[in-house]
Amino acid sequence: MKKLNDTLLGITVAIIDFIYRGLPIQRFWVLETIARAPYFAFLSVLHLRESLGLRTEAHYFLMKEHFAQTINETEHLIEMESRGGSDRWFDRFFAYHLVLVYYWILVVYYAVAPVSAYHLNAGIEYHATETYLNYLWDHQEDTKIAEIAVDEMNHYIELNRAMAMI
């Protein structure tokens, strides 16, 4: 499954790289729109499992962590909106359709193979970190993007920690 994740991530990144070459803020907005989906999906599945009496020892930690990450990704999204990241109709159309598909794929994926779902999301968080860091090479004065890059790396670390708990 990890090879499939890496392949799908590689293809998606290549498409986003092509579409958003030279448009970093729009790219960030699209990435942040997509970045919230896994946490919503994971919370949906955790809620379903809890409702069915299938709570695990890690359940509370995972719910708390994913809710916090959802809030954090939403803060990033709001920052990118304030910079005009969602001004173009194409960006909104692309992100909203991609996130809809991605959310439902992850709901099923997390329900069936949670470690693989975390692996895919960790790859996305790693890519987001790289994207922000690349932007910072030319915009070192942008302290807000630097904060977001640190958050993304922390999400990557937390996802790997969560993977180990499953």
Please report which residue ranges of 20-142 form alpha helices under DSSP H.
24-51, 59-82, 89-112, 114-138
Confidence of residue 104 (pLDDT cuts 50, 70, 90): very high
Higher pLDDT, 108 or 163: 108
Burial of residue 99, with CB atoms counted within 10 A of its CB: 0-12 exposed, 13-18 middle, 19 or more buried? middle
Average pLDDT of the residues in 45-57: 93
Domain, as residue range, for 55: 2-165
How far apart are alpha carbons 27 and 32 in whole angstroms? 9
Average pLDDT of the residues in 10-22: 93
CATH number of the domain bearing residue 146: 1.20.1260.140
Q: Calculate what percentage of the chain has a pLDDT beyond 90.
A: 69
Total count of domains within the chain: 1
Average pLDDT of the residues in 125-136: 90
Say what the pTM is.
0.90
